[in-house]
Amino acid sequence: MTQRRVPLRSLPDVTIANPPRGPAIETDAQLWTRAAAGDRHAFGELFERHAEAVWNHAYRLTASWSQAEDLTSSTFLLAWRKCHGVKLIRDSALPWLYTVAGNLARNEHRGATRFLRAVRRLPDDTVAADHADDVAHRVDGDARMARILAAVRTLPRSEREAVELCLLGEVPTADAAELLGVAEVSVRSRLSRARARLRTKLEELS
């Protein structure tokens, strides 16, 4: 998986400072409580803690380093402005941040996505895997990812949200259910229906 450290300039409205060293590490909930009270230093710690994960998620949504950086910046800026509305799941802000990034990406109609890992159960045209096949797969990877993203965008919103959280963001189904406000069985059902739709759609595009 492609990884890249998000530069601090991605969050221009929040001051990032070196936190004081102490014996205990504050939880996301503790930091977000301080941030909601206007503590920019606490929010800076949250940014340092989660920016790389959010950037990687954004990169898989956009397949673009620059767009992923912009999307990461927008995600944290929105989080700063809506500190009181953040919903933590198992004391982690990541599921909520992933949801914000996904919504922003959809609203702005961003480009292609790195989505092959999220649809690993889809039919594979490769009969026998070898080095040559792997090279060929990488050469036409961008075109295939574009087709996959196009298929994902045709999903009903409820299924698309489940796919982005659980398949792309690797958020556990139980956590996704809590975040989306539905039963876990509903999330599993949405994922099952989404996989079936994606298989059919990609077969039509082949």
Beta-carbon count within 10 A of 165 CB: 25
CB distance 115 to 148 below 8 Å: yes
pLDDT tens string 68-95: 888 899 999 999 988 887 888 888 999 9
Residues 132 and 154: their CA atoms lie apart, in Å, by 33
The tokens for 147 are 């087709």
* Inter-residue contact 168 to 162 (CB < 8 Å): no
User: What is the domain partition of the chain in residue ranges?
Assistant: 1-111, 112-120+137-206
Q: What residue has token string 């045709």?
A: 154
CATH for 112-120+137-206, options being 3.10.20.30, 1.10.10.10, 3.10.129.10, 1.20.120.430: 1.10.10.10
pLDDT of residue 46: 93
Residues 58 and 68 sit within 8 Å (Cβ to Cβ) = yes
Mean confidence (pLDDT) of the chain: 75
- Contact call for residues 94 and 49 (beta carbons, < 8 A): no
Residue 45: pLDDT above 50? Answer: yes
| CATH class entry, domain 1-111 | mainly alpha
Domains 1-111 and 112-120+137-206 agree in fold = no
